[in-house]
Amino acid sequence: MNKIKLIISREYLTRVKKKSFIVMTILGPILFAAMMIVPAWLASIEDTEIKNIAIIDESGVFINKIENTKFIKFDYLENQKLKDIKSNFSELNYYAVLQILPSISYEPSAVHLYSNKQSSFEVISHISNAMEEELKYKKLKANGINEDILKSIKSDVNVRTIQWTDEGDEKENFTEVNMILGYASGFLIYFFIFLFGAQVMRGVIEEKTSRIVEIIVSSVKPFQLMMGKIVGIALVGLTQFLLWIVLTFTIVFGIKMAFFSDLGKIDTQEIVAQNLFENQSPLPATTNINEDFASPDKISLILDKIKSVNYPLVIGLFIFYFIGGYLLYGSLFAAIGAAVDNETDTQQFMLPITIPLILGIFVMMNAIQTPDSPVAFWFSIIPFTSPIVMMVRVAFHVDPWELYLSMGILVITFIGTTWLAGKIYRTGILMYGKKVNYAELWKWIRYKS
């Protein structure tokens, strides 16, 4: 046991001191934090450029109907030709020219926005929404329907999903958060198994080709060497993953406090309650994308969804399935590394290992939609795919007996594959210059100690 500890310590310290480990440990949280912060920051940026848009309304329907905004101003031109405006466009200092053809009432594409640059989505969206509302009003009026009636019956519906247990307890859950959490957990396990499993295989091949393994196995048994290498690299992976989590949340929290500190001062519950008691929708009927995203009730809903997750359970199971899946596949990767002399020869043995992992990704996509389907159930029990698929199902809800069954079978399978891999590793680690096939591997497995 002491020899295995020494090997684990050697593998761990050697890798955490590498420049690649340090660089990725620093860059990883920065990239993850950027993925969380930058989209929200970009969505909150308001374009403050004043955009003057000339309107040539040949239909006569939309004169003074498209209202100005804070940064978008409209200039309705009469008795003007489009070609005259285009010829003097740079001198007139217009952002764009909007031409509305007479056929707009029956031809949706009879609206043209001319500009010498790419028109922004905000401008296009504001114009199209305003024109759609005006056309709808005209058609309602033509059919004798009062627009106020339609506004009064319009309501927003927010479906709350509540799950109850056999004991009668009720708990609200949020499908969107569960889908994102399940997908992220499953994909991270898939990524880490491949990443660190390949490191085990390359480490074995390097030691084998450099002949340093001949010196090492003179002091320890091949099985001890294999287990020490697998566990040591697993600890490296866990260390890097935990550092990523801590550093990512530290960076996000620091940036939030430095640049978005006013977010926590908004009393969202009071605002939403006030709107509800006034028989108003918590959201205004017409709003732009940024206002809708940043509205207090939306922020409150998002925070409630995030807080609803049982993070200790999810993180605990993630660590278990990461370790279990890694040890299962890590032993197989170590066996492959011991059986070959270079990475080129590993291709024939990689296919049986990669197929279950890739299949697990495809089943994970199905499990996100139907987590209780027979396919999702069985693939969350089969140990070669359970680390990926079960994390998706856990995000929704899994009966305890299913979870215990999956975990138990994974542990038993890991012990079995480690035993088989140890048989291959013991023979192959000292074999050089021979092309190995599956028949040869079977002979190695059948060798008696």
| Model confidence, pTM | 0.62
CATH number of 51-149: 3.40.190.10
List, for residues 345-399, the tens digit of each pLDDT value: 777 788 888 898 889 889 888 888 888 888 989 999 999 999 999 888 887 778 8
Residue 190 has pLDDT above 80, yes or no: yes
* Range scoring the smallest mean pLDDT among 42-56, 63-77, 177-191, 281-295: 281-295
DSSP one-letter code for 159? P
Question: What pLDDT does 270 receive?
Answer: 41
Could you please report the per-residue DSSP string of 329-365?
HHHHHHHHHHH-SSGGGGHHHHHHHHHHHHHHHHHHH
Half-sphere exposure of 417 (CA within 13 A, CB side): 22
Q: Is the pLDDT of residue 277 over 50?
A: no
**Would you state the structure tokens that stand for residue 155, as one six-digit string?**
């309501």
Collapsing DSSP states into helix, strand and coil, what is residue 173?
Answer: strand
Q: What is the pLDDT at residue 288?
A: 43
The beta-strand segments (E) located in 147-288 are: 161-164, 170-173
Q: How many CB atoms lie within 10 A of CB 77?
A: 16
Using DSSP's 3-state secondary structure scheme, residue 370 falls into coil
Give the pLDDT confidence score for residue 284 in this predicted structure: 38
- Which residues, at least 6 apart from 432, have a Cβ–Cβ distance to it below 8 Å? 208, 341
Structure tokens, 61: 């329907």
In terms of C-beta density within 10 A (0-12 exposed, 13-18 middle, 19 or more buried), how is residue 39 classed? exposed
CB atoms within 10 A of CB 204: 26
**73 vs 448, higher pLDDT:** 73
Helices (H) and strands (E) in the chain, counts: 18, 6
Domain boundaries, given as residue ranges, for the chain: 51-149, 173-258+309-446
Q: Which residue has the tokens 């310290």?
A: 13
Q: Identify the pLDDT of residue 406.
A: 92
Residue 134 and residue 127: Cα distance in Å, rounded? Answer: 11
**Percent with pLDDT over 90 in the chain:** 4
Per-residue pLDDT tens over the stretch 283-336: 333 444 344 444 455 555 555 555 556 677 888 888 899 888 888 898 888 888
pLDDT at 405: 93
Which residue would you say has higher pLDDT here, 351 or 105? 351
Q: Give bridge partners of residue 75 from the DSSP assignment.
A: 54
DSSP string, 301-327: HHHHHHHTS-HHHHHHHHHHHHHHHHH
pLDDT at residue number 165: 57
Query: Which 8-state DSSP code applies to residue 113?
Result: E
DSSP string covering 43-107: HH------EEEEEEESSSS-TTTS---SSEEEEE-SS--HHHHHHTHHHHT-SEEEEE-GGGGT-
122-170 pLDDT, tens per residue?
A: 888 888 888 888 888 777 777 777 767 766 666 665 565 555 556 666 5
Asked if 171 and 161 count as a contact pair (C-beta separation under 8 A), the reply is no
Residue with tokens 């999956």: 406
Check: CB of residue 227 under 8 Å from CB of residue 418.
Answer: yes
pLDDT exceeds 50 at position 272: no
